[in-house]
Amino acid sequence: MLSGFVYGHKLVNSSRRQITSLLVPGDIADLQCLYVPKLDHNLSALGPAVVAFFPHAAFRAILDQSPQLSQAFWRETFVETAIAREWIANLGRREALARMAHVICELAVRLRAVDRTGSFSLFIPWTQMDVADVCGISGVHANRVVQELRRSRVLDWDPRQIRILDWDALTEIADFSDDYLQLRIAGRDLVASEVA
């Protein structure tokens, strides 16, 4: 992923959509297709996105010859799994408001880790229906939750731009901790300076 946003999703009962992952610039989409034959989810872009493709054969050849590279990509898979686990906890044990707040927190931190801007604004070309399918709630309810977040002055939510007004309150609502994102590498902390 070079720019833009991609999401993974599944259809349940051949009608209800659940978004299972969000990819931000810097992420690697669908590594598993190198070694696992069957696709188990669909990938789509949220608005315009720039994506680089790698030929599988060449990629496999490189990985076979470099344990270091394999390890690096394997690590990428571990982070993906850790995020999935957090989403499971999010969907299973938080109510809608906390759930949505948690998604925003995660995206903010992941984007800050890439941008290094320290900004509290997110430009994501998603609709409230997309957000609903991330959070496992209905579109109507997603709208009400967005309004609740606006009303409590935690954030602004113009159609496509989210401006976080009160990071502490947001993480409080979301019960958010960025531990699972594994952003601290080799003793250095990739995000603390921006978040602080």
Interface residues toward its own copies, by CB under 8 A: 8, 10, 12-13, 16-18, 20-21, 31-32, 35-38, 40-41, 63-65, 67, 70-71, 74-75, 77-82, 84-94, 133, 135-136, 175, 179-180, 182, 184
Which one, of 181, 186, 189, lies nearest residue 76 by Cα?
181
- 31/165 with CB nearer its own copies: 31
* Partner that binds at residue 140, options its own copies, DNA, none, CB closer than 5 to 8 Å by kind: DNA
CA angle 31, 134, 132 (to 5 degrees): 155
Tell the smallest beta-carbon distance from residue 142 to DNA (Å). 7
Six-digit token pair at 120?
């509290």
Calculate the alpha carbon distances from 18 to 12, 79, 138, 156, 182 in Å: 7, 20, 11, 25, 25
Taking the complex as a whole, the smallest distance from the CB of residue 173 to DNA amounts, in Å, to 12
CB of 190 to its own copies, least distance (A): 13
Of 45, 46, 54, 41, the residue nearest 84 (C-alpha): 41
Q: Taking the complex as a whole, how short is the minimal distance between the CB of residue 49 and its own copies, in angstroms?
A: 20
Closest to DNA by CB, 151 vs 188, is 151
Q: Which two tokens stand for residue 186?
A: 């080799």
Residue 82 contact partner, candidates DNA, its own copies, none, CB within 5 to 8 A by sort of partner: its own copies
Please tell me the distance from the alpha carbon of residue 176 to that of residue 103, in angstroms, as a whole number.
9
- Rg value, the chain, Cα: 17
In the complex, the smallest distance separating the C-beta of residue 63 from its own copies, rounded to whole angstroms, is 7
Q: What are phi and psi of 42, to 5 degrees?
A: -105, 145
Q: Which residues bind DNA (CB under 7 A)?
A: 95-97, 99, 127-129, 136-141, 143-144, 146-147, 159
